[in-house]
Structure 1
Amino acid sequence: MPVSLLTPIATDLGVSEGQAGQAIAVSGAFALVTSLALSTLAGRLDRKLLLAGLTVLMIVSGTIAAFAPDYATFMVGRACIGIAIGGFWSMSAATAMRLVPADRVPRALAIVNGGNALATVVAAPLGSLLGAVIGWRGAFFCLIPVAAIALAWKVASLPSMPALRQRQGASPFALLRRPAVSLGMVACALLFMGQFTLFTYLRPFLETVTHAGPTLLSLLLLTVGIAGFVGTALIGALLKEGMYATLVAIPLLLAAIALGLIGCGASVPATALLLGLWGMLATSAPVGWWTWVARTLPDDAEAGGGLVVAIVQLAIAGGATVGGLLFDRYGHPATFGASAAILLAAAMTAWLAARAARPARLA
């Protein structure tokens, strides 16, 4: 939501667009801590109650953000949503495993990722449109009834899920002793850092370089979302044919798109095409890395999933921070160029992870 409302948020709160973009960095930082600590802190609490509590926190976050009188209060609201995000995603795989038979877990996880892609389709363009009609505060307020409906749905539909005893030695950080795992985690982190170095500041780029008004801005963001939904639906076949080849190709292509936006950003058709390709690749990337966790860590998928969530959130925070500093000081060429460089590093590291996992060939 903040990506599509960055400019009005910055104007209303009296901060720069780079500072407003730190709202994503703050939520990412709190999601990071939550994803690593939630299982221990929750103890024996029924996981149904925990999920309900995280949803209540989403309502609190929307309320604080909508009525925030200043920048600091707005950041408190973003911290709350970060806790909720980190909690939900760190529990997603474990929850799916408890709700469906073992042979249907992959399909359940695909549905979870599909839901995230669908939300991407709706959130950015709808947020931009609502921001133009009822203001950015009104757009954030609209999250409150949506979260309330989700809370009622969870309470009514989820069964009781008592906490399970954790396996001895199942520490997420212990997994990093394996070269293929540590390299894969670094590649995943660089991918998301590079992605959000650019994507966080997409709206001010579209407004100042592409000269997109509210309607065109919503359409361009919708293009990103729809393409992302399509990409999520298609990536499964590519992962089946060559998982590591796909994980290398995605950041390579994203880097090329970032450089293309620097040169073609003033052209609406070219920008729309590039953003469509960006959405298709960037939104489908998490499916690739969740598949990597399932294949690389079949006996430690829960610990590996929690570590991925933490690393991704740290990378998002880092990308938003780096992008904000560069955008405020040097403008979009430096920001998008840095994104491309980080994405190229992600591709190289994914290739090294493939060699560590399968020295004989690139999967």
Structure 2
Amino acid sequence: MHIEDNLPAGNASPDDGTSSSLRSWLAVVAVAIGAFAFVTTEFLPVGLLPRVAKELGVSPGTAGLMVTVPGVIAAISAPGLMLVAGLMDRRRVFLLLTTLLLASNLISAFAPSFPVMLLGRALLGAALGGFWTLATAASGRLVAPRDSAKAMATILTGVTCATVIGVPLGTFIASFASWRASFMATGVLVAIALVAQFFLVPSLPSTAALRTSDLVGLLRRPHPRRSMLMVALVFGAHFSSYTYITPFLLRNADLSMSSITWLLLGFGIIGFFSNFAISSTVVRSLKMSVGAMISLLMFALLSLPLLQHSESGVAAVVLAWGVAFGALPLCFSVWIQRATPDSPEAGSALFVSIIQVAIASGSLIGGVIVDHVGMQADFLFGSGLALLGLVALASFGAREKRPDAASIPCRATPE
């Protein structure tokens, strides 16, 4: 593994063998519940797109703005909020952002028109970027140094659980009630997360405010810059297609809404187990793990339109897609942590920002393609972005190796 010449000496606390208390782990769980609530809210429209589009009188491509708008705003709020927050206690910021999320769900649930719906989704975006920046950067502060990786994995479990339970459950609720009831149910979940954070998350004072120069400094370094490009391409590949998976399965694959609900549930469940399975190899062979999952994503996006008339074929490909995307967030989180170990908050802010740019631009371009060219062209576009992601990965050259104990303080990167 190569070391960047311009990285300063590490300042991570060494593992002194101290175990984390129960209260510490409860704080991590409270943040994980918040992660679950945020991801469920962010991607809830994926399963509700046809219903919302029909009731509010817009096309499916236009309805995709429910994913695009929060992505655009979150891309700005990820670094922007951290710059504005300055030295504010991070616990207070957590509570503020979760309150905004609650407001977003209530506005969306009662939206009388599509513009009001977008207003609610904009509030989500304002909260989303800051939350993810805090969650990924603060995970190691909530527990003892030796448990920081487990804390991060626990918070990411909230993401995979939202994919497993949140989005399919929202679709299920809408199937017997309405899409508005899905947003209301998510609001209840957010309220639970807010209460948990209020009582369990300790004070997290900030000793150094994030500065614009910290963000610019990271982007001037080749390794973090190329890492962010790779992440953008792969997340763009996923969300340009996944945003419109429900209309595709409904129209092109001719599946019933009941079958789609179960298939999305299967997507989430297999992604949940994929997240745990990849954790056993991601540290030892990070580059290989990333490459395998991007390749599987590209295969799924290429194959789905070809197999659209085979119900079993479609199901198999969607599950393979779930395997890939279930593992990629953890892979990329570890990659960025190693790429920016001397500036964790700046690295986290840029990571979250670039993901949201990819979600917003991917869903927006995907919507234009869906409305003007068709579903199959959209999936072909996504597979092309995944291929570019593999090219970006190949540009890192030397095969990554597992860092040993001596190399960690030296701030090893994934190259």
Q: TM-score range by the shorter chain?
A: over 0.9
CA drift of 1:336 comes to 0.3
Q: Which residue of 2 aligns with 1:43?
A: 86
Report the Cα offset of residue 241 of structure 1.
3.2
- For residue 54 of structure 2, what is the aligned residue in structure 1? 11
TM-score between both structures, scaled by the size of structure 1: 0.95
Q: Secondary structure at the match of 2:178?
A: helix
Give, in angstroms, the shift of residue 45 of structure 1: 2.4
The whole-number CA distance in structure 2 between the counterparts of 1:249 and 1:342 is 15
Tell me if structure 2 keeps the 8 A contact 1:185–1:311: yes
Of Structure 1 and Structure 2, the greater helix share is in 1
Q: Tell me what 1:330 maps to.
A: 373
Structure 2 CA distance for partners of 1:227 and 1:56, relative to 1, 3 Å: same
The equivalences for 1:74-89 within 5 A come to 74-89=117-132
User: Which one-letter code corresponds to 1:197 in the other structure?
Assistant: S
1:277 and 2:320 matched? yes
Does residue 186 of structure 1 match 2:205? no
CA shift, 1:123, in A, is 1.6
The residue that corresponds to 1:294 in the other structure is 337
User: Deviation of residue 280 (structure 1)?
Assistant: 1.2
**2:170 alignment partner, one of 127, 130, 136:** 127
The aligned amino acid for 2:380 is G
SS at structure 2 position matched to 1:132 = helix
For the residues of structure 2 that align with 1:168 and 1:44, how far apart are their CA atoms? 11
Q: 1:67 aligns with which of 93, 104, 110?
A: 110
Q: 2:265 maps to which residue?
A: 222
- Equivalent position to 2:247, from 193, 204, 211: 204
Q: How does 1:78-117 map to 2 (within 5 A)?
A: 78-117=121-160
Partner of 2:215: 172
The one-letter code of the counterpart of 1:182 is R
Cα 1:99/1:19, change in 2 over 3 Å: same
In the alignment, residue 219 of structure 1 is paired with which amino acid? W
SS in 2 for 1:353: coil
Q: Is 2:64 aligned against 1:28?
A: no
How far 1:301 sits from its partner (Å)?
Answer: 2.2
Question: How far did residue 106 of structure 1 move?
Answer: 0.8
Matched residue of 2:282: which SS? helix
Q: What runs of 5+ residues in structure 1 fail to find an aligned partner? A: none
List per-residue Cα deviations over 1:83-123 (Å, max 9, x = no partner).
Answer: 22211101012321221111111110011111110111012
**Shift of residue 154, structure 1, vs aligned partner:** 0.8
Query: Which segment drifts farther, 40-49 or 332-341?
Result: 40-49
Is 1:344 the counterpart of 2:387? The answer is: yes
Identity of aligned residues (%): 32
Q: Deviations over 1:189-224 (max 9, x none)?
A: 000001001100000001012222121111100010
For residue 286 of structure 1, report the CA deviation from its aligned partner.
1.1
Q: Is the 8 A contact 2:79 2:353 kept in 1?
A: yes
- Per the normalisation by structure 2, the TM-score is 0.83
CA, structure 1 residues 116+34, in 2 after alignment: closer, same or farther (shift >3 Å)? same
- Provide the rounded CA distance (Å) in 2 between the counterparts of 1:291 and 1:160: 26
Give how far 1:324 is off.
0.3
Deviations 1:219-265 (A, max 9, x none): 10001000110110011222133211222222222111111101102
Q: Number of matched residues?
A: 360
Q: Could you report, residue by residue, the CA deviation over 1:278-314 in whole angstroms, capped at 9, with x for unpaired residues? A: 0111121011111112222221222111111000000
Deviation of 1:17 after TM superposition, in Å, equals 0.2
The answer to whether the Cα contact below 8 Å between 1:65 and 1:73 also exists between their aligned partners in 2 is: yes
1: CA distance, partners of 2:228 / 2:343 = 14
Hey, what does 1:233 align to over in structure 2? 276
Report the CA distance between 1:170 and its aligned residue: 5.8
User: Which 5+ residue runs of structure 2 have no aligned equivalent?
Assistant: 1-43, 402-413
Measure the CA separation in 2 of the matches of 1:46 and 1:229.
Answer: 32
